[in-house]
Chain A
Amino acid sequence: MIRFFEATLDHGLKVIAEVSTEAKSAAMGYFVKTGARDETKEESGVSHFLEHMVFKGPEEMDAYAVNLAFDRMGARYNAFTSDENTVYYGAVLPELLPDLLELFTKLMRPALRQEDFEMERKVILEEIALYEDRPEFVAYQRAREHYFRNHPLANRVLGTRESIEKMTRERMAAYHARRYVPGNMVLAFAGKLDWERVLDQAARLTERWKPGSAGRDYPPFAPTPARVAEPYPRARQTYLVGLYPGFSARDPRRYLAAVLASVLGDAGSSRLHWALVDKGLVESAGAGHEEHDELGTFGVYATTRPENRARVAEIVAEELARLDREPPTEEEIARAKTKAKTQIVFAGETPMKRLFHLGLSYAYTGRYEPLSEVLRKLEAVRREDLAAYLAERPFEKGVFFELVPGEG
């Protein structure tokens, strides 16, 4: 059985839980509504760098003690930073959840010791180097930069070598004080747990947190259509990324975008699959819809050998154009919905898998969305809804980007 609970603590921290009596583990996460888009130019990369520093520990605890504490619980845990969220998460056996909550809560108030800061700067620079060797990542990043241009969603999560080399502990501390405030965070739980107990414990552990909230800039944005190809010396293949206007995390039309992405790009069977993958023309190809805060993007991608580049680009463009001429059929839509049904059962299979959608969706919308509701909304998508979106000709309003081998 599944039950949902929510509460707001006095200082503004939202606490939510989806309790499942059948789960064998418990998962929790702090979802901080902050990321690369909330950084100034000088702060570029600070959200992600801070995420690393959080694990170096609060005042009374060093980094090794933090690592030991997690490992002694047998916790599966990690964190990630995106353009607009920083998420700390973990799962343990149910009896250890109070220990995990205590540890993560302490970590939210890191000491940011100078010595740790210098050591971790090196690790971040290695991480930047690692991604330079992943052209797929570079292609997606460059495509976003071309699409969002001056909008803060173009900001790089990792920052740059220069911005990381110049980063100071003081700048990070100020960013932390500004962004990691209770009103800008959600504490989410999923799995086997006792709601009253975790809520009470969360209130006690955070009682000294000062109330506060953080805003976010929403500058106006309209994409400028462009077709761009850029050389990248570390690429041996070509990487095609198309980005087009989609829907925000609060827009009810995001479900129709999900159905459309399935029809166009699902692995194993979809329009792009039959046009490209089945023909052996690409290593991979697909489509997806990404929801942001007040914006969204509909994306397509394909990876292929340089000799297929022109043909693949032409086919992708043709498939996008065809959506307008031949919108998804009732049959294609029905199939996408049937596939979603299985997907949703597996999305709720383990507390850890469930946690991400639960926490992120709440952080964006401020309301609980059970998986059964997601399914209902997907099933309610009609052919006319897709046609209405396609009639706006979204694929003429975006960026068609290719990263190709060659000296830049």
Chain B
Amino acid sequence: MATITTETLRNGLVLAVEEQPENRGAAFTLLVPAGATTDPEPYLGSAAVMEHWLWKGAGSYDARAFAEALDDLGVRRGSETGVEYTTFSAALLPEVLPRALELFSLMFLAPRLADETFESARRAVEEELAALEDDPPKKLFVRLRREVFQSPHGRNVEGSFESLARLSPETLRAQYPRRYTPRGAILAVAGGVRFGEVRDAVQKTFGCWGGPEVALPAPETTPPHAARWVEETAQVQIGLYYKDVPPDDPRFYAARLASQVLSGGMASRLFTEVREKRGLVYTVYASPGAFKGFGWLAAYAGTTPERAEETLKVVKAEIARLKEGVTEEELERAKIRTKSALVMQSESAQARAGGMVRDLFLLGRVRSLEEIEERVNAVTLEAINAFLAEHPYVNPWEGVLGPVGGAA
């Protein structure tokens, strides 16, 4: 069984390590509390540009030397800016972990943030913003999220072309010390590693990183409503957002199991009713998500214009029907699927490092896979049905993107 140890360093950085003795690889994810919600007005997209800029040189390394130093260790890496935070992650062989941490720490302790590399970082984000145009489902959800949240949680991570044009090396450099800080940062490591050795390596590298606390805004929503966007796509994109319980709610596991009944596996209700019985779509799903202190259930369906109205109707009806409860058999199936998924997650260092970071951010602690399994098993039919009766999934925010006359 995997052992998880969590420790908060003196500078505020939270370190969590899961030892997986049989794993020949290792992975880590570093979360820093800089995301779209904390981008200062009017400089939206700052965190996204900073993410690119940070890779462009640190300490005595320029961008290329830095990348090549990581290549020489065989470190596979990536980074992603989100609504609430930015993550930097790596997959590597356990023996190179100390040296890889040393290089990663330079990115935060001694970033170059040089004038001459700024423009290419900004352009990279402009490219991402442009690419959104050719990804209709993603475009739909970016727009729908803006409808749902009144708070900065509705912002587009990449900002806009106008806000990106406002950024300068000076504005970003001025933001850096108060946003890229160990207070609120989380480092999760999983794989064939030992806690003691990891802690020593982290202490040596990230130990002298300093910075203030970052205040995160609380999520606030608008009243549920419908929005429609005209685009010449082949398929109409349908998106729904339902308010759900937050991750620290005692009814969280009942809600997660309900979402499995709705959309976990091919025998689930949405897949059966929308695709199998009616052939309305290729893709339909509902999937839960969360910001700190706020949970939602999002649903998606893509279909050709003449069938959009019926699809929307069927999807909404199936989701609303949850309030009538689930059957013993459906609950059992949802539990088996969850348990199986947990075991498979435990085989992957990258999946675990990502999961641990999310747990720490949302809940302030890491749940072991055993704990999750126990809590899932403890959900009775009475409990889940009582939850569904008192928390019906109705009255969603609705977004439809597609050609004129294509429905709804």
A interface, CB within 8 angstroms of B = 22-25, 55, 63-64, 67-68, 70-76, 91-93, 119-127, 129-130, 132-136, 233-237, 267-269, 273-274, 277-284, 303-305, 335, 338-339, 341-343, 345-346, 348-352
Contact = CB atoms under 8 A, between A and B. Distances in A.
B279 interface: yes
B68 A133 contact: no
A133 B303 CA distance: 11
Contact of A92 (B56, B70, B122, B340): B340
B234 A346 contact: no
Interface string B287-309: 00000000000000011100000
A349 B349 contact: yes
B76 A23 contact: no
Contacts of B235: 126, 129-130, 132-133
Contacts of A126: 235, 279-282, 302-304
A124 to B, nearest CB: 8
B119 interface: yes
Interface in B226-277: 232-235, 264-268, 271-272, 275-277
Interface residues of B, number: 74
Contacts of B64: 269, 274, 278
Nearest to B76: A342
Contacts of A71: 264-268, 333, 336-337
Contacts of A234: 134, 232-234
Rank and list the top 3 A-B pairs by shortest CB-CB distance, nearest first: A280-B123, A74-B340, A122-B279
Contact of A339 (B74, B336, B344): B74
14 contacts: A25-B347, A67-B266, A73-B336, A74-B338, A76-B340, A119-B278, A123-B275, A130-B235, A268-B77, A280-B120, A281-B127, A339-B76, A345-B93, A349-B23
Contact of B131 (A92, A127, A237, A278): A237
A278 B62 CA distance: 12
Nearest to B265: A71
A342 B91 contact: yes
Contacts, number: 190
A349 B68 contact: no
A263 to B, nearest CB: 11
Contact of B130 (A23, A72, A91, A237): A237
A55 B266 contact: yes
Contacts of A25: 340, 343-344, 347
Given A68-B267, A342-B74, 14 more contacts: A25-B343, A67-B265, A67-B272, A71-B333, A71-B337, A74-B341, A121-B279, A126-B303, A129-B234, A130-B234, A269-B64, A305-B130, A346-B25, A351-B347
A278 B120 contact: yes
Nearest to A308: B127
A135 B133 CA distance: 10
Best-buried of B23, B235, B303, B347 by chain A (most CB within 10 Å): B347
A267 to B, nearest CB: 8
A134 B268 contact: no
B71 interface: yes
B283 interface: yes
A304 B336 contact: no
A341 B340 contact: no
Nearest to A23: B347
Interface of B: 22-25, 52, 56, 63-64, 67-68, 70-78, 91-93, 119-124, 126-128, 130-131, 133-136, 232-235, 264-268, 271-272, 275-283, 302-304, 333, 336-341, 343-344, 346-350
Given A74-B339, A283-B128, A67 B74 contact: no
B347 A349 contact: yes
Contacts of A122: 279-280
Nearest to B276: A63
A341 B136 CA distance: 37
B384 to A, nearest CB: 17
B336 to A, nearest CB: 4
Contacts of B127: 280-283, 303-305
A235 B135 CA distance: 10
A121 B136 CA distance: 23
B333 A72 contact: yes
A76 B71 CA distance: 33
Contact of A338 (B22, B71, B232): B71
Contact of A130 (B52, B283, B343): B283
B272 A129 contact: no
B71 A136 contact: no
Contacts of B56: 278
B67 A268 contact: yes
A222 to B, nearest CB: 34
B119 A280 contact: yes
Given A24-B347, A233-B232, A342-B76, A303 B131 contact: yes
B347 A269 contact: no
Contacts of B124: 277, 280
B47 to A, nearest CB: 17
Contacts of B123: 279-281
Contacts of A127: 282
Nearest to A125: B304
Contacts of B122: 280
Contacts of B338: 74
A271 to B, nearest CB: 11
Nearest to A353: B348
Nearest to B233: A133
Contacts of A342: 25, 74-76, 91-93
Nearest to A92: B340
Given A22-B22, A335-B68, A76 B77 contact: no
Contacts of B133: 236-237
Contacts of B75: 342
Contacts of A269: 64, 67-68, 70-71
A349 B349 CA distance: 8
Nearest to B344: A25
Nearest to B118: A280
Nearest to A339: B74
A30 to B, nearest CB: 18
B407 to A, nearest CB: 14
Contacts of A124: 282
A324 to B, nearest CB: 23
Contact of B120 (A73, A125, A279): A279
